[in-house]
């Protein structure tokens, strides 16, 4: 669905969630003055305000919101208007107790925190549509409103619902998906363990059971859960669209909310937006940030997106909420921009005095304007203004990492060969290898057109449909380079092992299959002799897993030194058609991945730029110029040559090598050239 | 309410819980003979006997209890008569299943262990009052009965109740506390996350929710829980008082049952009593014992109190129930006496053959009288008889540690800056520092008169009311020395951040505020350069936390060497009025606290006695004489000079330095002098 | 009950679970061809097929099973026909929701995994008997059927049921056990903690309670649970026997399903069978395998038994499912044979493509017949054929380890002196000591005739009835050697401490009693000076526990060097009558047990063979010949002299020392001699 324009037109969006209902009216006036001082041009309003808008069922009070929107508009601040449906009022749950979410063990999750209702509840659906409609009817024409923000972080804090309401909806969904009980019984393999169904109404949710529930049932329940949440979004979106023309979004949690299939969600929104929070315990969390940003851009199909929430400093819900260091918020923000964000927003404008999130940092902290955080917020507003020319420029990548929510859901089920074989870990490991090598990455679905990529990496394709395996094989035939990690191509869309055994759907592309998995014991380490040209070139360290590989016609380039597969193949390379297929049958560490990926880059014709560790460089391509964002995450000044051009943050010309001081960022406007960072 | 006399008159109480209903009648006769041998003068009776007294609803059988009390009285053993309401009978729960406690997740806690009913249940309240009344009516005049013991360890094993019954009572309590829904909504900050209430009956307990519940609601629920338990006590107490004149107590669990506000409870009892059990895993658990004893004396306002339960050796409910070493029970007992106890009692007289506590040690162990434990019990009886002159003497302290149950409840809620910032840990750390320095400590509420103390320590005043902060500020102005640890003065009584930011209510007293919390990662350590006079004097080790401090007019006496606040202030001292205010912004270890506290002692005019480590010396002041208790916790003999006097346990004169052998105790009667141990 | 013959007559049973209902009909034909290739002679059929046999309540469809049995019979493959009652159909739970198992906290365990119904449900009992009867009626005369296989692994995945249905049955069971409420109150010690019962219907299951439930109640609930499960078996067995003559079994989980009293179960079956799976995390899991095999033989009273399930390689339900190494499956299988198994079967024939167990290895793996696993299966079939002469030969042991399910249930209850005192650990430790010393072991109940054993070891006899203690004392008097480990002879059958104190029932046999338990702190280690002849001979390492021993008339042969009992007795030996009684009061490690057990062997007149570590040798005695099975678990070839004879696997004569290559097995047919391996 097309929409008139970017919410902030030529400017990069800058602002945050604004929840003034927590404060006396006089504070609002102070707020808008300070927003102007900081350069805020957009705020998200009304996200948790249902109880204050619909004060009793069907009784609406918009007076305070009228006042607020007028105030913002008079001060030149645009509004991203939220529907408050992520937190139904107390009266709703009192009137409709069956709309409460029920946990797997039967525990009813009640009111009093931030409460999603059952996405399958007809009463909830009706109430959500009603409040969204009323908001849209009233504010569709309000000049402040430039975007609609439906709900909040679908799938968090809870997604799965095991209530009676949900079970009834699940049966309907299953009938639509499978058509017949025969088809369902076949897909779920119910002949095993005597689970054969003879009536639809005998089927339940995969609730608490004496031992593990049917995995195909659980996988379908994950699909159903995602579907129900998305149906809630679509219902609200359509209710708004009936009245309003502005673009509609809902804030994703890319990489953090595994219950939602973001590629499917992205097709339903006008603008993709994302919330991102650092993992405090991870000292290299700027890499995880980059991953989330690249994933968000990828689900948006490369289109501009908005970082709708991040934090100015610490959050409050982790075990140890590490504050951001001076400059870190700026680096975080510009890494998002570098990876395609055209909006940088925060949760939230002013720190709450009360409630569960009072220790979450804000643009305006408890300490007020005489604080480091406030000073950096003001600086960021100025920086983003200077970067306005970047609007609508695009990132291009030579490398894709496969991302398939259904595969991840399936791999997360119980009773896998090893609890240590984690899809998130491998995605991050391969991503970090590419990040350290300075290569920008897209995420791609296994079924999509991959021809634009020189290299495709499958770190965790446990569930790989036969047709998608064939698609990947054609990609290799056509000249692509494919790298596949262990525990891939194991099952089909019903979590059933592929006929022919593990990895067999990729046998042509890789030249190998797996006879048996050989998981290692806890703490057991193994070494791989790396011999790409026949001679031992390095010893690589790995753990968690080995395969008993059957080499059909691949070249063995790495061999196990020890462990159960000692002396047998660990890493293989296979020429297929015009391309090559690599298989890595163990969990190499980041250093161990380096020579393997370097060899794959060579196959793919990719030459990494060769930057110092933790100097991040990403290019956005405009119509006529490029914007090269360089972020120095180190504690030392560095010198890098990114070509001649003009540095936008300091508004200064650059010729040849440019110095970037410790912890700072440079954005160089240079001449336009095409393609990813791997092509010199 | 005044009461005639101490239960055992001039003697220190000595005895234990006596549950003879577990044994055949002939064993009772053996029991009283052995009690006399051991010097037992008081036993607690009937504590879990409801089912044997009220054999069906309203049907009482007192015959065995008549027999028992007569037997004890004939043998000169006084009785602390319990009401059995901590363990309602099976018939009660069968008749009133709604009186069962319900856990947060909805699990009903049934009969069959040691079962508290819902403190909010009207049926339970009525039944408890009935049985207490019947007991009082029958035994008020019995000559054996010298004290009443209501219930058992209120708040343990469960305190919080999420039943429908409790929710109804919670709403009533909230109406009384807040008056109006407007006030409740403001206090709880329900504008955040859409929790605004429009009807009282929409409010529930903070049961299982999708994510964390409203913290102010949880804090009120903790207050409500404490209130309901106390109301149960008051109802029973008043029922007894209607018939009986003897003092009434209930056994606290100082420091172990964080659900009760002991200062409030102490106002309701005639004699404060406490149960104390060592933490077996803690090799320095004699320090924790001293803390509990000082806390018990403090809540009693300095009046004599009774140790109503401790153990002769191991308990049975910890992971590894370490037995006491020879002499340890004696040291434990006399440490309690030193800190104000005028009664030393045990759970229980004779070890149970059956049931959940059969591996709990007793005065008479399974091994019988030919055992180390029995011999030490007999010795203790003799020692306590020798210490009878100490009755009614008092402890005086120069130092107070702030203790506020509400602050602790609030700090224990979810989503704090760091899970490592634990109030119990800091209270114990500062206490242990003072203990090692030989200084006797009172615990004090932040709102109480502190003028008698030279030094006040606030190790964990997360919740500090503005008026209490002002009170502390006046204490400093008037010449007091105040030491405040990190994460203090953060929120008000509604768990709302103080306007002006963290620590702002103590800005005048301390000369600093906190711009931002800087929690450290797990395992991360930091060093503080200690430079009280400008020159580096020592490097102190700390972890868990740093603050980004704003120094308004304080003197910086410690500076971070590393970590996020490297180079910035860590410890400050501020002269305010006639006193000084210290702020310690990190978690210093015990050694690191030494120079900081030594400097604070100097400000306070306190000079520690300078004793060897683990030699504990405490003075009780009588009308005319002092009693100096010296306990040698080490494995070496030590020599200490406590002045001239008479050693009571060995009945021998002492002149000058006295030798105390490894593991033993001396009690010196000396001339009277006033004040705490810090004044030479 | 006698039965015609061994299921496979003179042959060792070889085959596995066969669940062809998961596969298209054409696969069945391939299956039987491959079974014949592998030498399969028996398959277990129908174990989870209820939903496919009784397609609606009372509506049976046997067509596919008719077809299957005919196909197998035509191919010479015999059938162990299962009753499918371990997995009732979806329609059953829909019709009878009250038959669902309820967990301790009230969680209802629903349909959708592998679902046991409540063993106390009359509806379940009736349905199970109906389907068993129908199967027996139809197939009793089928020539393929040679054995009946009732249910599957009773007690797993759940045994205990807290439903209303179960509680009602528990009350009936209690009335039968105790006769009167007075007797129950006495047995449970309900006078403590006010648990006295006045009506049967006030008694519940030991469900969730505020603190620990009555231990005697819990012990009775464990007995009840075992009884209910066994009653289910008996009902099905009798229903089958009404129609069929073949032997009836049910597959135990020796050592892995602690909820069943296997000695009692073994009395109800015609042939004992067992399922065994390696513990992947245990690098010495071949020892645990041997323990399980010896236990199975022991409960079978020494009669031939069948290993009804094990795995060809990895399982799927452990954390890290380590695959078996080449040769390991063969070693595992022949270790079972060596210890009395006359049948070696697997779960399952063909690896499932779908469902919860698709990553469980099978005889025919996902990789098909061109795999290591398949080749080893075929080899095993040939080996077992060569070992057919071993059928009905018997193992004889000189050593017995006491095994009492009730003692283990009791020791597993809460609030014991130390969580580190684990019965499973000590049984395994003493077993491993004996295994390393090359001694074959029986497991024995404390009450049974022990006169055939030279040495009896009691590693964990926490609950020891007075009469059983007297029985053990008579065993010593008569010349036996008894070794007792710490925390033994503590309680009677009601979990009540023995009068006289810990260990007192064995005072005559051991010459010591225990005054007090002295559990050690976590990680605390202690040393024992071993001085069997008065002079220090070795320092032994121990942890977890010390006792404060009272030595009445025993000889002290080991003394604590450190810890709370430093300088006091650790290990004692006592001559009583013609025998000797040893007491080991701490947790010695495997090496520390060596000299102690060696001394006990000397007392018992046992001389271990002296084999290299991890060379396992066990003898089965036939009518005229012996079969000595020698398994080399090491990575080196070894040479051992097992006498002259004929090696059956290679069909070669042996004279004198025989070489056994790394990882391989030899089976020597030699001349007959009697007795265990300890008699040279």
- Asked if residue A125 lies in contact with residue A235, where contact means CB atoms within 8 angstroms, the answer is yes
CB contact under 8 A, B199 and A89: no
Q: What share of chain A is helix, strand, coil (3-state, %, to 5)?
A: 30, 25, 45
Residue ranges of A 306-365 with Cβ closer than 8 A to chain B: 313-314, 316-317, 319-323, 325, 351-359, 361, 365
pLDDT band at A255 (very low <50, low <70, confident <90, very high): confident
CATH at A633: 2.60.40.1180
Which of A85, A50, A86, A77 lies closest to A65 in space, CA to CA? A50
Say whether pLDDT at C1 is over 50.
no
Answer whether B158 touches C (CB < 8 Å).
yes
Answer whether A48 touches B (CB < 8 Å).
yes
Answer whether C58 touches A (CB < 8 Å).
no
A182 is catalytic: no
Listed residues C390, C424, C458: the one ending a domain? C390
Answer whether A22 touches B (CB < 8 Å).
yes
d(CA A116, CA A99): 9
Tokens encoding C556 = 């002290």
CB neighbourhood size of B471 (10 A): 16
C26 is catalytic: no
Looking at the complex, report in whole angstroms how far the Cα of residue C369 sits from the nearest Cα belonging to chain A: 11
Q: Residues of C comprising the binding site for substrate?
A: 114, 152, 317
pLDDT value, residue B1: 40
Listed residues C604, C626, C656: the one ending a domain? C604
pLDDT in tens, A425-452: 999 999 999 999 999 999 999 999 999 9
pLDDT value, residue A1: 40
d(CA A116, CA A154): 9
CB contact under 8 A, B322 and C520: yes
CB contact under 8 A, A418 and C357: no
CB contact under 8 A, C113 and A415: no
**Burial code of B237-267, b = ≥16 C-beta within 10 A, e = fewer?**
bebbbebbebbbbbbbbbbbbbbbbbbebbe
Q: Are strands C579-584 and C569-576 parallel, antiparallel or unpaired?
A: antiparallel
- Asked if residue C236 lies in contact with residue C128, where contact means CB atoms within 8 angstroms, the answer is yes
Q: What mean pLDDT do residues A209-214 have?
A: 95
Judge if C430 and C462 occupy the same domain.
yes
CB contact under 8 A, C354 and A520: no
Judge if C373 and C271 occupy the same domain.
yes
pLDDT value, residue A2: 44
Chain C positions touching B109 (Cβ under 8 A) are 208-210
Looking at the complex, report in whole angstroms how far the Cα of residue A157 sits from the nearest Cα belonging to chain B: 6
Residue C228, in any domain of the structure:
no
Judge if B527 and B577 occupy the same domain.
yes
Listed residues C390, C416, C431: the one ending a domain? C390
pLDDT in tens, B340-371: 999 999 999 999 999 999 999 999 999 999 99
Residue B227, in any domain of the structure:
no
Answer whether B288 touches C (CB < 8 Å).
no
Residue C202, in any domain of the structure:
no
Nearest to A50 among B194, B517, B521 (CB): B194
- Residue C545: strand pairing partners: C519
Looking at the complex, report in whole angstroms how far the Cα of residue A162 sits from the nearest Cα belonging to chain B: 13
Chain B positions touching A107 (Cβ under 8 A) are 105-106, 208
Which of B54, B153, B376, B406 is an active site residue? B153
Judge if B579 and B499 occupy the same domain.
yes
Residue C371 backbone dihedrals phi, psi, to 5 degrees: -140, 155
Nearest to B322 among C419, C494, C519 (CB): C519
Mutant choice from C194, C416, C522 vs B, greatest count of B C-beta within 10 A: C194
Tokens encoding A204 = 């339940």
pLDDT value, residue A312: 98
Tokens encoding C211 = 């603190």
CATH at B553: 3.40.50.880
Residue B155, in any domain of the structure:
no
d(CA B458, CA B439): 16
CB contact under 8 A, B196 and A90: yes
Judge if C481 and C586 occupy the same domain.
yes
pLDDT value, residue A189: 97
> Which portions of chain B are predicted below pLDDT 50?
1-3
Judge if A543 and A666 occupy the same domain.
no
The share of chain C scoring above pLDDT 90, in percent, equals 97
Residue ranges of A 190-219 with Cβ closer than 8 A to chain C: 190-199, 201-204, 206-217
pLDDT value, residue A462: 98
* Total domain count, chain B: 2
pLDDT in tens, C135-178: 999 999 999 999 999 999 999 998 899 999 999 999 999 999 99
CATH at C44: 3.20.20.80
If one compares A159 and C357, the residue with the highest pLDDT of the two is C357
- The helix or strand, by DSSP H or E, that contains position A50, with its residue range, turns out to be helix A50-53
- Asked if residue C349 lies in contact with residue C35, where contact means CB atoms within 8 angstroms, the answer is yes
Q: Kindly give the residue spans of alpha helices, DSSP state H, lying in C442-538.
A: 466-477, 507-510
Chain A residue with minimum CA distance to B498: A353
Residue C65 backbone dihedrals phi, psi, to 5 degrees: -75, -35
Tokens encoding A307 = 């970082």
Chain C residue with minimum CA distance to B155: C210
Judge if A435 and A577 occupy the same domain.
yes
Residue B95, in any domain of the structure:
no
Which of A309, A328, A376, A406 is an active site residue? A309
Q: Are strands C305-309 and C273-275 parallel, antiparallel or unpaired?
A: parallel
Looking at the complex, report in whole angstroms how far the Cα of residue C407 sits from the nearest Cα belonging to chain B: 16
d(CA C61, CA A149): 57
pLDDT band at C674 (very low <50, low <70, confident <90, very high): low
Judge if A437 and A482 occupy the same domain.
yes
pLDDT value, residue C103: 97
Residue C343, in any domain of the structure:
yes
- Asked if residue A108 lies in contact with residue A42, where contact means CB atoms within 8 angstroms, the answer is no
Question: Domain residues for A453?
Answer: 399-604
pLDDT in tens, C572-590: 999 999 999 999 999 999 9
pLDDT band at C257 (very low <50, low <70, confident <90, very high): confident
- Asked if residue B259 lies in contact with residue B155, where contact means CB atoms within 8 angstroms, the answer is yes
Place of tokens 């705020």: A43
Residue A324, in any domain of the structure:
yes
Say whether pLDDT at C4 is over 80.
no
CB contact under 8 A, C193 and B114: yes
Mutant choice from A102, A185, A192 vs C, greatest count of C C-beta within 10 A: A192
Judge if B548 and B622 occupy the same domain.
no
Judge if B420 and B457 occupy the same domain.
yes
Q: Residue C140 in 3-state DSSP?
A: coil
Judge if C593 and C660 occupy the same domain.
no
- Stated length of chain A: 680
CB contact under 8 A, B194 and A354: no
- Asked if residue A244 lies in contact with residue A302, where contact means CB atoms within 8 angstroms, the answer is no
- Asked if residue B622 lies in contact with residue B645, where contact means CB atoms within 8 angstroms, the answer is no
pLDDT value, residue B74: 98
Judge if B666 and B642 occupy the same domain.
yes
End-to-end CA distance of chain B: 38
pLDDT in tens, C321-348: 999 999 999 999 999 999 999 999 999 9
Residue B134, in any domain of the structure:
no
Q: What mean pLDDT do residues A67-76 have?
A: 98
- DSSP assigned state of B87: S
Chain C residue with minimum CA distance to A518: C323
């Amino acid at each position: 669905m097309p929409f008139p324009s970017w919410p902030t037109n030529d400017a990069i969006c800058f602002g945050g969630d604004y929840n003034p209902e927590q404060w006396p009216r006089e504070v609002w006036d102070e707020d808008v003055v300070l927003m102007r001082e900081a350069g805020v041009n957009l705020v998200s309003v009304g996200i948790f305000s249902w109880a204050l808008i619909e004060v009793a069922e069907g009784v609406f009070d918009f007076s305070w919101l009228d006042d607020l929107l007028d105030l913002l508009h008079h001060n030149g601040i645009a509004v991203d208007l939220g529907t408050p449906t992520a937190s139904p009022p107390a009266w709703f749950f009192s009137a409709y107790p069956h709309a409460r979410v029920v946990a797997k063990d039967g525990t009813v999750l009640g009111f009093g925190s931030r409460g999603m209702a059952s996405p399958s509840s007809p009463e909830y659906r009706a109430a959500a549509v009603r409040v969204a409609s009323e908001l849209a009817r009233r504010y569709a024409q309000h000049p402040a409103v430039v975007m609609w923000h439906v709900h909040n972080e679908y799938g968090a804090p809870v997604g799965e619902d095991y209530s009676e309401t949900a079970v009834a909806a699940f049966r309907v969904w299953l009938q639509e998906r499978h058509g017949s009980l025969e088809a369902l019984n076949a897909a779920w393999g119910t002949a095993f363990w005597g689970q054969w169904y003879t009536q639809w109404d005998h089927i339940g949710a995969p609730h608490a059971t004496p031992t593990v529930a049917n995995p195909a049932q659980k996988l379908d329940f994950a699909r159903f859960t995602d579907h129900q949440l998305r149906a809630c979004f679509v219902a609200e979106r359509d209710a708004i669209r009936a009245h309003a023309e502005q673009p509609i979004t809902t804030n994703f949690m890319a990489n953090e909310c595994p219950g939602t299939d973001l590629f499917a969600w992205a097709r339903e929104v006008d603008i993709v937006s994302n919330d991102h929070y650092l993992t405090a315990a991870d000292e290299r969390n700027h890499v995880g940030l980059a991953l989330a940003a690249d994933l968000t851009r990828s689900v948006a199909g490369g289109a501009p997106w908005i970082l709708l929430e991040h934090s100015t400093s610490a959050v409050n819900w982790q075990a140890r909420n590490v504050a951001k260091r001076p400059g870190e918020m700026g680096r975080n923000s510009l890494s998002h921009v570098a990876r395609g964000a055209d909006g940088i927003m925060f949760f939230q404008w002013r720190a709450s005095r009360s409630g569960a999130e009072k220790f979450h940092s804000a643009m305006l902290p408890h300490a007020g304007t005489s604080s480091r955080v406030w000073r950096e917020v003001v600086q960021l507003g100025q920086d983003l203004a200077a970067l306005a020319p970047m609007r609508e420029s695009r990132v291009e990548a030579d490398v894709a990492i496969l991302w398939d929510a259904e595969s991840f859901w399936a791999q997360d089920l119980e009773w896998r060969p090893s609890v240590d074989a984690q899809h998130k870990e491998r995605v991050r490991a391969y991503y970090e290898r590419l990040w350290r090598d300075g290569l920008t990455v897209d995420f791609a679905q296994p079924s999509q057109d991959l021809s634009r990529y020189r290299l495709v990496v499958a770190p965790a394709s446990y569930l790989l449909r036969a047709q998608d395996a064939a698609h990947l094989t054609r990609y290799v035939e056509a000249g692509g380079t494919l790298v596949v990690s262990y525990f891939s191509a194991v099952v089909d869309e019903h979590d059933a092992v592929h006929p022919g055994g593990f990895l067999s759907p990729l046998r042509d592309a890789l030249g190998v299959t797996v006879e048996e998995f050989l998981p290692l014991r806890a703490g057991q380490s193994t070494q791989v002799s790396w011999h790409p040209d026949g001679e031992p070139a390095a010893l690589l360290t790995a753990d968690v897993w080995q395969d008993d590989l059957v080499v059909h016609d691949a070249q063995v380039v790495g061999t196990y030194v020890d462990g159960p597969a000692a002396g047998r193949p660990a890493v293989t390379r296979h020429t297929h058609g015009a391309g090559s297929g690599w298989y890595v049958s163990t969990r190499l560490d980041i250093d161990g991945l380096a020579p393997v990926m370097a060899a794959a880059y060579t196959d793919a014709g990719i030459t990494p730029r060769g930057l110092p560790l933790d100097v991040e460089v990403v290019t956005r391509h405009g119509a006529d110029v490029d914007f090269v964002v360089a972020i120095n995450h180190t504690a030392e000044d560095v010198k890098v040559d990114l070509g001649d051009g003009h540095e936008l943050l300091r508004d200064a010309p650059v010729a040849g090598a440019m110095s970037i001081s410790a912890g700072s960022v440079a954005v160089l406007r240079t001449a336009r050239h095409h393609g990813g960072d791997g092509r010199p």
